[in-house]
Amino acid sequence: MAGQADNRAPYAKIAAHYAELITSGQLEPGTLLPSIKNLAEEWKVSTATAEKALRKLRNEGLVRGIHGIGTEVLDQPAPMSSGSQRQDRGRRTGSSWGDGERSDSHQAAIVSAPAEVAQALDIQPGSDVIRRSRVYRDRHGIVAHSTSWIPARYGKLIPQLAESERLTGGTSLQLIAQATGHSISHRIDSASAHLVTPEYAQLLELDPDRLPTEPVVVMTAKFVDSEGNIVEYGVDLGGPGRTWRTESEVSS
């Protein structure tokens, strides 16, 4: 977020800078990154810090070290994000997009809740719900097809939830929290592997006669407000070859 202090360690700032250049396509596969010495001079850090930044990029699978040559950018699709990670990103930056991502095909409608969705939202099957969907893409293709299921009562408070346009003024969760005065207090996430069905193939824009044999990642996220109301159920269908990756600090 603009104006917010960046308290990351120097090596993490350097790694994040090059990660963004790589995932956005500004640094093409095969490009060599600056040497440790040059990085240290450019960023005014020690060579140990520069080396740690390159190690982080290698651990993330974005680059590889070639003995006697240097550090080369790899061509690899970015991993998909979970609904909770997109929520975190939206809260920090105002956008759910990852590095190098964009979204399109925004659609919304009021429909009858399928059994799975009704159970997740704790409503009666067939009740009216808002279904919002969009497709996240990067330069490699579809990252994920994402669907948000929202109880219809929130559409009366926030009409744009049912409109087939990108939301303005915040994410759906932020808009609901603002309209109700109840913050989003917690979320419940799950991830599983599924074979590609004809329905999945249509959502992922795949050839129905040439379905991938490897499974795809399906991630769900249920969001609950401070009053215990389930306000949204999200389902992200990952594109073929996409994986879910998360990183966290481990204290010894």
pLDDT at 1 over 60: no
Dihedral (CA of 50, 51, 53, 58) sign: positive
pTM of this prediction exceeds 0.75: no
The percent of residues above 70 in pLDDT, for the chain, comes to 88
What CA–CA distance (Å, rounded) separates 203 from 146?
Answer: 9
Q: How many CA atoms lie within 13 A of 252 on its CB side?
A: 0
Q: What's the whole-number mean pLDDT along residues 73-98?
A: 71
Tens-place pLDDT, residues 222-236: 999 999 999 999 999
Angle, CA 53 vertex, CA 50 and CA 54 arms, to 5°: 90
Q: What's the whole-number mean pLDDT along residues 177-196?
A: 94
Residue 24: C-alpha distances to residues 167, 205, 228 (Å): 23, 22, 39
Q: Please give the pLDDT value at position 198.
A: 93
Closest among 187, 190, 188, 171 to 226, alpha carbons compared? 187
Place of tokens 């992200």: 236
